[in-house]
């Protein structure tokens, strides 16, 4: 394993443990860093019933699926009364929305913190893609909860699908800032690049790498994605004259 990969693992371990205030576990294959319910499931004392329900649902929704998980299973495994459940979450959709919102916050904040550990604009730009391998290894190549929701909820206007758009749009804007910083850091080397188009390409490659890793149950798509991003910023022909960006303002 490369020194860079080891550093990425250390970065994520430190940031997730700091975020959740839990003990450090150094064996990445034995936990899902990005799934806070898995990370904190042994910390079930002195928490509110709402938090116990949410942590239980997070583990079940992520590992076995939203549709495959029933409310009664969540109630039984969280150890709360049915009335307590409905007082906190009027419906299963409301529970899943809270799960996705918490996941969005934790994943985004961990990415930002890890990226800003790096010293140069180029290192920070590459860090998002390089973070995929330790994340996917930690969640056993299970992939992205927001991509899973697309298959589970066909209606594109559903509130659970909209949460996925918010998640990726936040990430998109963050990558755009990194792209702008990269270009400004060395106009001679990167001035030919268009920040919006570079951001679009980055996000599509990132999403594809996550999906293909889950399909193949192998990390080669992530390694290839890192190579593709490096190729993008090195390529003299990266910006076709007739190409338009799809990035929302």
Identify the CATH number of the domain in which residue 172 sits: 1.10.357.10
Query: Which tens digits make up the pLDDT trace of 54-80?
Result: 999 999 999 999 999 999 999 999 999
Of residues 224 and 30, the one with the higher pLDDT is 224
Residue 80 exposure: Cα atoms within 13 Å on the Cβ side = 25
> Which tens digits make up the pLDDT trace of 160-193?
999 999 999 999 999 999 999 999 999 999 999 9
What is the dihedral sign for C-alpha 169, 203, 30, 116? negative
Question: Residue 63: which residues within 8 A CB-CB, separation 6 or more?
Answer: 35, 142
Is 171 among the domain residues? yes
Question: Per mean pLDDT, which range of 29-38, 63-72, 103-112, 217-226 is the poorest?
Answer: 29-38
Residue 245 lies in a domain: no
Check whether 23 has a pLDDT greater than 80: no
Q: Can you give the pTM of this predicted structure?
A: 0.78
Q: Looking at the domain assignment, is residue 196 inside a domain?
A: yes
How far is it, in rounded angstroms, from Cα 145 to Cα 149? 6
Asked whether residue 107 is assigned to any structural domain, the reply reads yes
Q: How many helices (H) and strands (E) does the chain have?
A: 13, 0
- Tokens at residue 129, please? 């893609």
Domain membership of residue 242 (yes or no) is no
What is the mean predicted confidence (pLDDT) over 26-50? 50
111 domain-assigned: yes
Radius of gyration (C-alpha) of the chain in whole angstroms: 19
pLDDT of residue 47: 87
Q: How confident is the model at residue 18 (pLDDT cuts 50, 70, 90)?
A: very low
Q: Kindly tell me if the per-residue pLDDT of 149 is higher than 70.
A: yes
Which range marks the domain in which residue 164 is found?
A: 3-234
Distance CA 156, CA 201 (A): 23
Share of the chain above pLDDT 90, in %: 74
Report which of residues 91 and 6 the model is more confident about: 91
Mean pLDDT of all residues in 205-209: 98
High-pLDDT (> 70) share of the chain, %: 76
Residue 217 zone, left/alpha/beta (φ > 0; ψ -120 to 50; rest): left
pLDDT surpasses 60 at 249: no
Closest CA to 8 of 140, 105, 137: 137
Q: Classify residue 38: in a domain, yes or no.
A: yes
CB atoms under 10 Å from CB of 37, counted, come to: 22
Q: How many domains does the chain have?
A: 1
Query: What per-residue confidence (pLDDT) applies to 7?
Result: 55
Please check whether residue 239 lies inside any domain of the structure. Answer: no
14, with CB counted inside 10 A (0-12, 13-18, 19+), is middle
Phi and psi for 32 in degrees, rounded to 5?
A: -105, 105
Q: What is the mean pLDDT of the chain?
A: 83
Kindly tell me if the per-residue pLDDT of 239 is higher than 60. Answer: no
């Amino acid at each position: 394993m490369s020194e860079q990969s080891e550093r990425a693992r250390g970065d994520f371990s430190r940031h997730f443990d700091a975020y959740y205030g839990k003990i450090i576990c150094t064996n990445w294959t034995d936990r899902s860093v990005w799934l806070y319910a898995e990370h904190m499931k042994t910390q079930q004392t002195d928490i509110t019933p709402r938090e116990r329900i949410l942590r239980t649902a997070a583990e079940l929704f992520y590992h076995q699926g939203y549709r495959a998980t029933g409310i009664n299973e969540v109630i039984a495994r969280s150890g709360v009364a049915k009335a307590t459940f409905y007082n906190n979450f009027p419906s299963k959709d409301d529970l899943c929305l809270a799960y996705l919102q918490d996941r969005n916050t934790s994943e985004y904040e961990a990415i930002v913190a890890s990226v800003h550990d790096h010293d140069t604009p180029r290192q920070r730009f590459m860090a998002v893609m390089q973070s995929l391998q330790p994340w996917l290894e930690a969640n056993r190549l299970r992939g992205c909860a927001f991509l899973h929701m697309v298959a589970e909820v066909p209606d594109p206007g559903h509130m659970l699908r909209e949460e996925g758009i918010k998640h990726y749009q936040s990430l998109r804007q963050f990558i755009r800032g990194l792209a702008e910083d990269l270009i400004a850091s060395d106009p001679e080397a990167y001035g030919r690049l268009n920040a919006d188009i570079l951001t679009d390409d980055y996000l599509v490659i990132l999403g594809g790498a996550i999906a293909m890793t889950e399909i193949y149950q192998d990390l080669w798509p992530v390694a290839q994605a890192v190579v593709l991003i490096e190729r993008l910023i090195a390529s003299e022909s990266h910006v076709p004259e007739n190409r338009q960006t799809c990035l929302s303002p």
